[in-house]
Structure 1
Amino acid sequence: MPPIDQWGAFEPQAGSPVALAALLLAVLYVRGAIWMWRHGRRWAVARTASFLIGCALIVAVTTFGVNRLATDSVSALMFQQITLLTVVPPLLIAGSPGRLLLRSTPHTGLGRLVLRAAHAGLRSRFWRAALHPVVAIVIAMLLYPVLYLTDAISVIMRVPFGHDLFLAIVLVLGVVSATPLWSSDPLPRVPSFAARFVDIVVEIQIHAVIGLILLRTSTPLFSAYATPTGSHDPVIDQAIAGTLVWTYAELPMFVVLIVCLSRWRARDVRTSKQRQHAEDAELDAYNEYLATLSRGRQGS
């Protein structure tokens, strides 16, 4: 494994095009937020900060030394994957970019086309299917056990621009799988809390299994990373990758698990209070009815 200080060395010349996409997203988001503030419309600074932090993390893992070292170190690649798959998406989603798009886009010219596309997406069967809780589990299976236990990751890393394409796909799939769990924006499908809970628990188990396999295997699993070079030991490197999956990848999942359970309980408490108020109103109306009957009998 390369020294950890090399991971944090700023190397824009070896950066990924994904970093440019993140910078563009940040500029567009800030433009929308400024438009809201200039027109006297409320837009939370916390949302803006969350989205920009997410974009900054994308730039960091795709322009710092960890991006260059990912072609030689599977632990560096795993760090990139976990960051883009499980850490960055919640930050982007918490920024409510969809809501900002709908509120800040003008209703004339090109803006009208953008809004039409956004509304079409909300009614799209494709996105409704993509946001099904099962899809998130399939994504986790593809990007961990299938990708690494079949050594498909070595094939990807040997393809020209395979690394950059892989990072872009991981980020997109991370946003797709995290949206049903984190988003407060309008969605084509809103899964139940029970479905979210099952999704989170299954993903946690997938991380645990693949992490344990990488940590305990005593032979190199990946042909693209199997050659020792200098201080680089491929077995130790993949063990570090397994440790990252078992720890770094689990932290966001435990956070969303706590958030899911808290929202579930709050929803149940709110529903119970509403039901109790409705029952009390019905009881008051019935008592009033009985009192009216009693007064009528006394009057006769």
Structure 2
Amino acid sequence: MSTETVREPARDRQPSNAVAVLAVTGGLLAAVVAAALTALFAADSYAQYGLPDPGPITSYGLPVVRVIAESGAVVTIGSLLLAAFGIPAKRSGALAADGYAAVRTAGWAAAVWCVGAALLVPFIAADATGRAVSEVLSTEVLFGLVDALEEAKSWGLTALIAFLVAVTCRVVLSWGWTTAAFGLSLAGMLPVVATGHSASGGAHDIATNSLLFHLFGAVLWVGGLIALLAHAARGGAHVGLVARRFSRIALVCWLAMAVSGVVNSLVRVPLDQLLTTSYGLLVVVKVVCLVVLGVVGYYQRSASVRRIENGTGGLLRLGAVEVLIMFVTIGVAVALGRTPPPAELGPIPGTAELLIGYPLPEAPSTLRLFFDWRFDLVYGTAALVLAGLYLWGVLRLRQRGDRWPVGRTVAWLCGCATILVATSSGIGKYAPAVFSVHMGQHMLLSMLAPVFLVMAGPTSLALRVFKPAGKGEPPGAREWLLAFVHSPITRLLTQPIVALVLFVGSFYALYFTGLFDVALSEHWAHLAMNAHFLLVGYVFYWPVIGIDPAPRPLPHLGKLGLVFASMPFHAFFGIALMMSQTVIAETFYRGLDLPWMTDLLADQRLGGGLAWASGEVPLVVVMLALLIQWSRADDRMARRIDRKADADGEADLAAYNAMLKRMAEQDRTGG
């Protein structure tokens, strides 16, 4: 992060309510665009789905209400982003005046988000059944429809999360709780990703994963810019530095939106139908808007930062055009969501393709597990990005003349490679459909990849690469990382008993409580399971063999005891699976109707054998690493003692010998 001192304008001359006017204008513009494009391109969507036309209030009101909800979400997330990562808190950890103002804005926007999301529930119910909204407003009818409609339930959950964010923003006063509210607001976007066009039909795994990048890129970009303009209009501090930081975020968001948007569109519409279908034409319009946004936004932000550094201000005036184009793009996106994609109106995919996103015509083999790849956009991308960032950090150290152990770099790359293979090779492809392959993936993500990652010391590397923020400047990456490492949640998770319970208890809680049966049919649940496997493994191995100092350091005997305590639980889990007479998630696996999967119980027992056998191998590696670290710690202690003895002429040894001599003389005298 840059820590250059920039000259700030005394106060932006634009009135602070100008941003509110701009946001409302942009929201209205997005609503008009969404309604107009829906009328132009999606007027016959009900006939295409075989539904009666519910009338203009439902068909045109739904996109307008969705724009209201999404606009509230955008402003909420952007304002919390600014308060958490753009404005310095007080030394006590309390929010400064600018941060508190941003949080208050987020609170009001979250209320709008909540109301819009709640209103969407009856609109979606009416739209899905081809009725007028007034016909579904009775409690009995509405609850019955919502229970059967995943999209309506997702917006109901979103409304609940938005309500919690609004309440939190009314009472939060510290930087730590502001970051928690920011995380909660991001979580509020997830239910929407799990429904809609991207979550149904063939290739929904790729479509949903790409939509994650697309949606988060959009809300961070649009919301961040609005929050930045509001901060400048209030005459806030460090506008130039915050603008430069946002410019970097905006570039990453634009790249994420561009790439993920292309991937998502290719899943929904073939290239030869881009210009011959309503959905394809809307995709083209959206792509044009994104290109214009990228070009206009770059020049707008560059000019704004130069004017701020020259002390002339004008950020609001220069950023207004970018914001309005962004809201037009939101309107296009909402209309796109109202238009049936060609792939959804084509032939019905097979059962396996509907459930997991792609067909599996052949049984898994050793060659297919390692060479039949299907790239995971979330974890595959994360593995490549993490590897690239680590190598960039090592390169930065070498450019400064500092050294970094090669072994740590190799360990990190091995950990990233393990994540990539576990999620994007044939292992990741067959894991949703074959229990034994899933169990192999589980072992790789929870017991092997974290071992490599913690031995690489990523936190230590980051703290050496990132420079401290300058005096009076907003905290940067180094300060955020330190705050996270020393946060109460990190200290709780790395507490030995908590780490042990999470690590070994999650095996039993996931597979022996019915939770796994429920999660299998949802793509977002697969993403959550993989994240859980990685995180609990990292939390367990960090205080045991991690290079980075843990929030709760353990003595070597304590580390050894923690490892030994976990081993029987893994063995018992594998044996329990091997001896079980009941098939876990039998309904889902039989519903896949895979002709080569005939004996589910035998496959489950194979998975139990893998859990039992493969679970011991990483633990042996951990034991070896722990013993080596223990030996090296003893060597370092011995060298320190030798250096001290050389420096003081072995004064400690001489004092000890003198003490023994006095004790001997006292014994003789007493005798």
| TMscore range, shorter length | 0.7 to 0.9
Give me the whole-angstrom Cα distance separating, in 1, the residues matched to 2:567 and 2:538.
17
Q: Which residue of 1 aligns with 2:589?
A: 225
- The answer to whether 1:7 aligns with 2:369 is yes
What amino acid maps onto 2:559 in structure 1? R
Match among 453, 457, 480 for residue 92 of structure 1: 453
Give me the whole-angstrom Cα distance separating, in 2, the residues matched to 1:182 and 1:141.
17
Structure 1 contact 96–184 (Cα < 8 Å) conserved: yes
Give me the whole-angstrom Cα distance separating, in 1, the residues matched to 2:536 and 2:390.
20
Q: Which residue of 1 aligns with 2:625?
A: 259
Distance 1:29 1:271, change over 3 A: closer
1:23-45 superposed Cα distances (whole Å, 9 cap, x missing partner): 11111111100001111101122
- The answer to whether 1:236 aligns with 2:602 is yes
- In terms of mean alpha carbon deviation, does 115-124 or 246-255 score higher? 115-124
- The answer to whether 1:75 aligns with 2:436 is yes
Give me the whole-angstrom Cα distance separating, in 1, the residues matched to 2:629 and 2:535.
26
Q: Secondary structure at the match of 1:158?
A: coil
Give me the whole-angstrom Cα distance separating, in 2, the residues matched to 1:55 and 1:271.
33
Structure 2 residue ranges without an equivalent (≥5): 1-362, 664-671
Give me the whole-angstrom Cα distance separating, in 1, the residues matched to 2:427 and 2:628.
36
Structure 1 contact 22–55 (Cα < 8 Å) conserved: yes
- The answer to whether 1:198 aligns with 2:561 is yes
Q: CA deviation at 1:286?
A: 5.1
Q: CA deviation at 1:132?
A: 1.1
- The answer to whether 1:101 aligns with 2:467 is no
Match among 110, 126, 129 for residue 489 of structure 2: 126
Structure 2 contact 494–543 (Cα < 8 Å) conserved: yes
> Which of the pair has the greater relative contact order for Cα pairs under 8 Å at 6+ separation?
1
What amino acid maps onto 1:93 in structure 2? V
Give me the whole-angstrom Cα distance separating, in 2, the residues matched to 1:172 and 1:119.
18
Q: CA deviation at 1:129?
A: 1.7
- In terms of mean alpha carbon deviation, does 179-188 or 212-221 score higher? 212-221
Structure 1 contact 132–191 (Cα < 8 Å) conserved: no
1:105-140 superposed Cα distances (whole Å, 9 cap, x missing partner): 133589951111122234322212211111222123
What amino acid maps onto 1:244 in structure 2? L
Q: Which residue of 2 aligns with 1:294?
A: none
Q: Secondary structure at the match of 1:161?
A: helix
Match among 588, 611, 619 for residue 245 of structure 1: 611
Q: Secondary structure at the match of 1:249?
A: helix
Give me the whole-angstrom Cα distance separating, in 1, the residues matched to 2:524 and 2:510.
17
Distance 1:267 1:56, change over 3 A: closer
Structure 2 contact 583–601 (Cα < 8 Å) conserved: yes
- The answer to whether 1:281 aligns with 2:654 is yes
- In terms of mean alpha carbon deviation, does 169-178 or 277-286 score higher? 277-286
What amino acid maps onto 2:493 in structure 1? A
Q: CA deviation at 1:100?
A: 0.5
Give me the whole-angstrom Cα distance separating, in 1, the residues matched to 2:396 and 2:609.
44
Structure 1 contact 105–111 (Cα < 8 Å) conserved: no
- The answer to whether 1:187 aligns with 2:560 is no
Q: CA deviation at 1:254?
A: 2.0
Structure 1 residue ranges without an equivalent (≥5): 291-300
Q: CA deviation at 1:163?
A: 1.0
- The answer to whether 1:114 aligns with 2:481 is no
Distance 1:18 1:131, change over 3 A: same
Distance 1:107 1:272, change over 3 A: closer
Distance 1:166 1:278, change over 3 A: farther
- The answer to whether 1:33 aligns with 2:394 is yes
Q: Secondary structure at the match of 1:248?
A: helix
Structure 1 contact 144–210 (Cα < 8 Å) conserved: yes
Structure 2 contact 495–552 (Cα < 8 Å) conserved: yes
C-alpha RMSD of matched pairs (Å): 3.0
Q: Secondary structure at the match of 2:547?
A: coil
Give me the whole-angstrom Cα distance separating, in 1, the residues matched to 2:542 and 2:425.
27
Of structures 1 and 2, the larger Rg is shown by 2
Q: CA deviation at 1:195?
A: 2.7
Percent of aligned pairs with the same amino acid:
27
Match among 148, 151, 160 for residue 511 of structure 2: 148
- In terms of mean alpha carbon deviation, does 258-267 or 70-79 score higher? 258-267
